[in-house]
Amino acid sequence: MLFSKPCCKKMEDALTQGETRMFDLVGEPESVLMLATNYSRQEHDGQMARVWFYEPVLFCPFCGTQLQSEDAIEAWRQK
């Protein structure tokens, strides 16, 4: 299973915090819920740019609900 909707109010808030949010939905039409874990600065088109690294979120950190499965994420990555 891939992420379909927020499981609780705290997750909904975390997904709608604008530019400061650390949770992000990646891909369409199916989305994978990802968490920004760190970033590095790399040169891009002659300028230094921040490049974010993400990891998929399997369980809600607020209420513990399973949000997506490793198998579904792996199948999504293979597309």
Q: Is the pLDDT of residue 57 over 90?
A: yes
Q: What is the pLDDT of residue 79?
A: 85
Which residue's entry shows tokens 């927020």? Answer: 6
What's the rounded Cα separation, in Å, for the pair 26 and 11? 16
Q: What is the pLDDT of residue 3?
A: 95
**Type of residue at 4:** S
Going from the C-alpha of 78 to that of each of 67, 72, 73, the distances in angstroms are: 19, 10, 9
Per-residue pLDDT tens digits for 4-36: 999 999 999 999 988 888 999 998 878 999 999
- The percent of residues above 70 in pLDDT, for the chain, comes to 100
What sections of 1-79 are H helices per DSSP? 9-14, 70-78
Longest dimension (CA), the chain: 44
This prediction has a pTM of: 0.81
